[in-house]
Chains A and B, each alone.
Chain A
C-alpha cells in the first residue's frame, strides 16, 4: 500500500486543519448582527456574513469538526461493518454466510428514510444521529460488494492453489482476500465520503431536520437553503468546503495509477 502514503499524509494534514479550525475562529460564529447581514466579502469577513449577520468563515471553521465527525461515523459504520460482514460471509460460506448476506440485503431493503426517521426520532437530531442513521443505512452495499469481491478472489487460480497447498482460511483472508477487496472498497468509500455530508443535508431538507445550533456543513446547506438565489454564496462556501474535503479524500484513498494491484502482484 505504499502508493497511498502520500495520500495518508494529506489525510493527516486535513484532519489537523479541521481540528485547528474548530478550535479557533476569527469571529464569534454565533454573534448576531442584523445590521450587517448578507455583508459582501471583505477583509473582516472573508466569506461575508449570513442572513443573521454572522461571520460565515467562522461558522465554516467551527463546522469542520462536526462535519469530520459525520463523515467518520458514516465511514466507520458503512465501510467497517460492511466489509467485515461481506468478507466473513464470503469466507465462511454455507448457511452462516448466507444468513449474513441476507441480512445485508435486508438492510438495503429497509429504506434509508425510514431508518433515519427511526433513529432521529428516538435519539434526537444531531450530526451524530444523522451519521448513525446514514451509516446504518449504507453498510449493506459495502457488504455485498465485499462479498462479491471475496468470492471472486477465492475463485482465482493462485488462491485455489494456495488453499490446496494447505494455507488456512485466515491465511487466505489476510494474504489474498483483504488486500484484494480493500482497494475497490476504498474507492467506493472515497466517492461516498462527501456524499455523506450532502445526503445528510438532503435528509434535513426533507424534514428530518439538522441541528443548526451547532453548525456543520450539512446543517449549513440546510439552514441556508432558502437563499439559493438571494444570497448564493451562503450555499456555495459550505459546498466548496465539502468539495475540497471530498477531493482530498479522493486523492488520499484513491489508488494511484499503476499502483493498483487488485489481484495481480503474486503472479508477476
Chain B
C-alpha cells in the first residue's frame, strides 16, 4: 500500500515535470521570437558584413529561421530531445558543447559561493541571535548593507586591484582556473551571506519565543545551548526555504562576476547570446534551468519533510 502510494506519487511528479517543461519551452519559444531584433541582421551588422537580400535569405535558411514558427519549434524539440541542441548563431559551435564547457565553470563559481556563504552564515547568524545587537549581529548587518549598496562589478574590480595588483598574491586572469576562481567565489559568497544570515537569525529569534525554548531555559540551559537545541532546526528550515530560490542563479546568474574576471562560464555567454538574439541558446538555457529548478524544489521538498514532519500536502 505504501509502495503503491509512492508509485502514484512518482507518476504524478513525472506528469507535472512533463507539463511544466512543455509549458516552459513553448512559452520561451513564443516570447523569444516576440522580442524585437533579428539575429540575422544583428550578426551581419556586428561583423560589418553586407546586408543584402541574398546574405539575409541564405543565413535565415542556414539557421532554419525561414520556416513557420510551429515547424521551427517542433524541429527544435525533436533535436533537443535527441541531444542535438543546434548551433549557436554567434559562435557557430554546437550549443550542447558550449553548455558542457561553460556550465561546470558557472556551477563551480555558484556552488562554491553558496557553500562558503552557508558555512559562514550559520555561525554568524547563530551568534547574532544569541546576542541581538552584539558584534556578530552588527557584522552581519554591515555585510548586508555593503552588498546592497555595492555593485558586484565594483567589488570585483576592487578585489582584483587589491589582491592581484597591489598585494600581488594571486593571478586573477592568467593563473590556473582554481586560482582564478578564488576571488569570484569570495564575491559571490559575500552577496549571499547577508540575506542568509539574516533569515537564519530571524528564524532563531522567532523560535526563542516558543514554550519549548522557555522550558529549556527554565530548566537552566544557557541561552546558546537552548537556542542550539530547540531553535536550530527551525532556523535550518527557514534557511532552506530562503536557500531554495538562491539555487536559481547558480547556473546562469553570475554574469557580472564572470565578465569582470573573464571566466568562460555560461552566464556571460547568455548575456552575449541575448544581445545577438541567439534564440536556440536561450531556448536551451530556459529548459535546462527549468529542469534544474524542478530538481532543486523536489530536493528541498523532501528535505523539508525530513526537517519538519508537520508539513505535509
Contact = CB atoms under 8 A, between A and B. Distances in A.
A contacting B, Cβ–Cβ less than 8 Å: yes
B310 A257 contact: no
Contacts of A117: 35, 274
Contacts of B16: 102
B198 A225 contact: no
Name the interface size band of chain B: 35 or more
Interface residues of A, number: 62
A180 to B, nearest CB: 9
Interface stretch (B63-71, B87-95, B171-179, B287-295): B287-295
Interface in A3-41: none
Given A102-B16, A263-B206, A264-B209, A111 B157 contact: no
B194 interface: yes
Interface string B273-313: 01100000010011001101110010000001000101101
Interface string B117-161: 000000000000000110000000100111111111110011001
B255 A206 contact: yes
B149 A261 contact: no
B222 interface: no
A201 interface: yes
Interface stretch (B39-47, B51-59, B102-110, B237-245): B237-245
B20 interface: yes
Contact of A260 (B149, B151, B161, B206): B206
A265 B211 CA distance: 11
Contacts of B36: 121-122
B148 A121 contact: no
Contacts of B34: 118, 122
A145 to B, nearest CB: 5
- What does DSSP make chain B's interface, helix, strand, loop or mixed? helix
A183 B202 contact: yes
Interface of A is mostly: helix
Given A144-B245, A183-B202, A106 B157 contact: no
B259 interface: yes
Contacts of A255: 202
Given A113-B274, A152-B310, A257-B132, A239 B255 contact: no
Contact of A184 (B37, B141, B199, B253): B199
Contacts of A51: none
Contacts of B23: 106
A228 B152 CA distance: 12
A109 B35 CA distance: 19
B195 A260 contact: no
A108 interface: yes
A152 B308 contact: yes
Contacts of B210: 263-264
Nearest to B37: A121
A80 interface: no
A76 interface: no
Contact of A198 (B133, B150, B289): B150
Interface in B11-40: 16, 20, 23-24, 28, 31-32, 34-37
A167 interface: no
Most A CB within 10 A of own CB, among B253, B255, B282: B255
A195 B256 CA distance: 14
Interface in A97-114: 98, 102, 105-106, 108-114
B141 to A, nearest CB: 7
A151 B292 CA distance: 25
A240 B24 CA distance: 40
Nearest to A204: B151
B209 A242 contact: no
Contact of B199 (A93, A188, A205, A206): A188
Contact of A240 (B149, B198, B242): B149
Contacts of B203: 184
Contacts of B195: 188, 191-192
A152 B292 CA distance: 26
5 contacts: A108-B248, A111-B285, A111-B286, A192-B195, A264-B209
- A-B pairs, 6 with minimum CB distance: A194-B148, A262-B206, A264-B209, A141-B245, A243-B149, A257-B132
Given A144-B245, A225-B151, 14 more contacts: A102-B16, A111-B252, A113-B255, A114-B31, A114-B282, A141-B242, A184-B203, A191-B198, A206-B259, A225-B153, A228-B158, A240-B149, A246-B144, A246-B148
